[in-house]
Amino acid sequence: MDKKLLDILACPLCKGPLVYRKAEQELICKADRLAFPIRDDIPIMLEEEARQLRAEEEVE
């Protein structure tokens, strides 16, 4: 994932910062507890494509 792209991306819902999880290929919004997928190096920033983080999932 390109560092410059990560710096400008924000959560489409709350406009908050995102955390990149390389192993899972996801962008995490801590505030909304959503994980946005990255497919073929393209972040899918749609609410309906995001998965809700489980309560036991640690958000670093």
Query: What predicted TM-score, i.e. pTM, was given to this entire model?
Result: 0.89
* Dihedral angle of Cα 59, 26, 2, 17, to the nearest 10 degrees: -40
Query: Does pLDDT of 59 surpass 80?
Result: no
Q: What is the pLDDT of residue 60?
A: 67
Identify the CATH number of the domain in which residue 28 sits: 2.20.25.10
Q: Is residue 57 in some structural domain?
A: no
- If you average pLDDT over residues 13-21, what whole number do you get? 95
pLDDT in tens, 30-53: 999 999 999 998 999 999 999 999
- Give how far Cα 57 sits from Cα of 30, 38, 43, 47, 50, Å: 11, 19, 21, 19, 15
The domain tally of the chain equals: 1
Phi and psi angles of residue 49, each rounded to the nearest 5 degrees, phi first: -95, -15
Query: Does pLDDT of 21 surpass 80?
Result: yes
Q: What is the pLDDT of residue 1?
A: 72
